[in-house]
C-alpha cells in the first residue's frame, strides 16, 4: 500500500507537486490528462474486487470442507496469494485510485488491509507516503532505513558483531528472510497502533479490525485443524505471504541509484531515476499488482492500475526527449540487480570489520 508522492518538505500534502507550465513534468502531466489516463476505472475495480473477494472466500470454504487434512497446506499457499492480491487493492485505495472520495478509499483500504489481511492501513499509508516523497533518498526514505538488511553502505559500515556477519551474508539470506516479512508487517502494525504516531481518531477502528482478523484467523485454524497442523498452516501461509509481498516490492527501487541526504533533484528525475520497471505482459501485471510499472506509478500515484500500461509509452518517450534514463528489465534480472546491490553493500561491512583498529 504505497501512497501519493509529496513535495519535499510538504508532509501533509498528497499527490505530485504542482509544477509550472513550462516544466518537463507539467508537460508530461498535460499529455497524460489529455489521454484520460487519470480518469477513474470503476468497472475494472468492481470486477477486480468482486473476483478477489470471491476467491478469498472460496479459499476459506475449501479450508472448512477439508477439515483435518494435510492437503490444507495447498490451501495455505492459495490464501498466501489471495492475501497479497487483496493487499494490492488496499494499496490502490491508499493512492485514491479507486474512488474520487478519500473517505471511500480509506474505508475500502481499512477493510482490505485490516479486516482481511491483518495489517494497519494507516501505518502503511504513512510509511509509504514518506517513501513516495523521497524514493531511495538517504535519511528520508523509510524503505532504505537501517534494519535487518543494510540497503546503504553508510548503514553497513556502522554494523558491529553479528550485524557485520548478517550484512556480509545478506545477499544470500534476502529471499529466506522474506519468509519473516509477513510477521514483520503484523508486528509493525501493532506497534504503530500502540505508539504515539498516526491518527488518534483512526486507531480505535483499525485496532478493532485487526483484533477481529486475528481472532477469526486463529480460531479457524485451531478449531478446524489439529494444533500441529494449525501451526504448520500458519507458518506456510504467512511465510509465503511475506515472500510474495517482498518479491513484489523489492524489484522497484533496490539496486537503483541512492540519493545522498543533501542531494536534490526535480520531481520528474527523482521519481524516474530511482525507480525500475519490470518487463512483462498481462500475467506480470496481475502477479505484481501493477507495481511493475513503478516509474509511471511514482510519477502519477493516483493513476488507476489498468492505465499504467497505457501511460508507459508516453512516459518513456518523454524521458528520451529530455535525456532522462528510463530503466526497464526482466523480473529475473531485477532480482539479480537487487542481490548484487545487497552484496556490494554487505561488503562495506566486511571491510569495516577488517580495518585496523575497528
Residue 15 lies in a domain: no
Give yes or no for residue 8 having a pLDDT over 90: no
Give yes or no for residue 291 having a pLDDT over 90: yes
Give yes or no for residue 170 having a pLDDT over 70: yes
pLDDT confidence of residue 351: 59
Residue 6 lies in a domain: no
pLDDT confidence of residue 140: 93
Give yes or no for residue 65 having a pLDDT over 60: yes
pLDDT band for position 16 (50/70/90)? low
pLDDT confidence of residue 156: 87
**Which residues have a Cβ under 8 Å from the Cβ of 263 and sit 6 or more positions away?**
137
Percentage of the residues of the chain whose pLDDT score is greater than 90: 82
Residue 107 lies in a domain: yes
Report the distance separating Cα 114 and Cα 83, nearest Å: 11
If we measure between CA atoms, which residue out of 150, 91, 18 comes closest to residue 291?
91
Burial 120-156 (b: 16+ CB within 10 A, else e): bbbbbbbbbbbbbbbbbbbebbebbeeeebbbbbbbb
Residue 145 lies in a domain: yes
If we measure between CA atoms, which residue out of 276, 288, 250 comes closest to residue 170?
250
Give yes or no for residue 3 having a pLDDT over 60: no
Q: Which of the pair, 40 or 17, is modelled with greater confidence?
A: 40
If we measure between CA atoms, which residue out of 11, 267, 256 comes closest to residue 140?
11
Report the distance separating Cα 349 and Cα 357, nearest Å: 14
Task: Return the minimum-mean-pLDDT range out of 61-75, 104-118, 136-150, 239-253.
Answer: 136-150
Residue 4 lies in a domain: no
What the block records as the C-alpha cell of 354 is: 577488517
If we measure between CA atoms, which residue out of 346, 344, 354 comes closest to residue 150?
346
What mean pLDDT, rounded, does the chain reach?
A: 91
Report the distance separating Cα 234 and Cα 130, nearest Å: 31
Give the chain's domain count: 1
Report the distance separating Cα 192 and Cα 124, nearest Å: 9
Which pLDDT tens digit goes with each residue over 256-271?
999 998 999 999 999 9
Which pLDDT tens digit goes with each residue over 311-347?
999 999 999 999 999 999 999 999 999 999 999 999 8
Residue 13 lies in a domain: no
Residue 3 lies in a domain: no
pTM: 0.90
* Side-chain half-sphere CA neighbours of 53 within 13 A: 13
Residue 130 lies in a domain: yes
Domain interval for residue 298: 24-354
Amino acid at each position: 500500500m504505497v501512497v501519493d508522492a509529496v513535495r519535499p518538505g510538504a508532509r501533509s500534502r498528497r499527490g505530485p507537486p504542482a509544477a509550472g507550465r513550462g516544466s518537463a513534468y507539467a508537460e508530461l502531466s498535460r499529455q497524460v490528462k489529455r489521454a484520460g489516463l487519470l480518469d477513474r476505472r470503476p468497472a475494472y475495480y468492481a470486477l477486480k474486487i468482486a473476483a478477489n473477494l470471491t476467491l478469498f472466500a472460496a479459499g476459506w470454504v475449501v479450508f472448512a470442507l477439508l477439515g483435518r487434512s494435510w492437503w490444507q497446506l495447498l490451501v495455505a499457499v492459495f490464501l498466501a496469494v489471495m492475501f497479497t492480491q487483496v493487499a494490492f487493492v488496499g494499496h490502490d485505495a491508499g493512492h485514491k485510485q479507486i474512488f474520487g472520495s478519500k473517505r471511500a478509499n480509506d474505508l475500502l483500504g481499512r477493510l482490505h488491509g485490516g479486516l482481511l489481511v491483518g495489517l494497519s492501513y494507516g501505518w502503511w499509508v504513512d510509511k509509504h507516503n514518506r517513501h513516495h516523497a523521497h524514493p531511495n533518498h538517504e535519511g528520508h526514505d523509510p524503505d532504505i532505513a537501517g534494519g535487518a538488511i543494510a540497503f546503504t553502505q553508510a548503514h553497513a559500515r556502522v554494523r558491529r558483531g553479528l550485524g557485520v556477519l548478517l550484512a556480509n551474508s545478506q545477499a544470500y539470506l534476502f529471499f529466506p528472510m522474506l519468509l519473516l516479512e509477513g510477521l514483520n508487517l503484523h508486528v509493525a502494525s501493532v506497534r504503530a497502533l500502540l505508539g504515539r504516531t498516526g491518527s488518534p481518531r483512526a486507531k480505535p477502528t483499525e485496532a478493532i479490525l485487526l483484533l477481529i482478523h486475528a481472532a477469526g484467523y486463529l480460531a479457524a485454524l485451531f478449531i478446524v485443524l489439529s494444533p500441529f497442523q494449525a501451526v504448520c498452516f500458519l507458518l506456510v501461509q504467512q511465510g509465503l505471504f511475506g515472500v510474495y509481498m517482498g518479491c513484489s516490492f523489492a524489484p522497484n527501487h533496490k539496486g537503483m541509484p541512492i540519493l545522498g541526504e543533501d542531494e536534490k533533484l526535480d520531481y520528474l528525475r527523482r521519481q524516474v531515476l530511482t525507480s525500475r520497471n519490470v518487463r512483462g505482459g498481462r500475467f506480470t501485471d496481475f502477479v505484481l499488482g501493477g507495481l511493475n510499472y513503478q516509474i509511471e506509478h511514482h510519477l502519477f500515484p493516483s493513476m488507476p492500475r489498468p492505465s499504467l500500461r497505457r501511460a508507459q509509452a508516453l512516459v518513456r518517450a518523454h524521458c528520451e526527449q529530455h535525456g532522462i534514463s528510463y530503466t526497464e528489465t526482466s523480473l529475473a534480472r531485477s532480482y539479480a540487480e537487487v542481490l548484487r546491490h545487497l552484496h556490494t553493500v554487505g561488503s562495506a561491512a566486511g571491510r569495516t570489520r577488517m580495518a585496523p583498529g575497528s
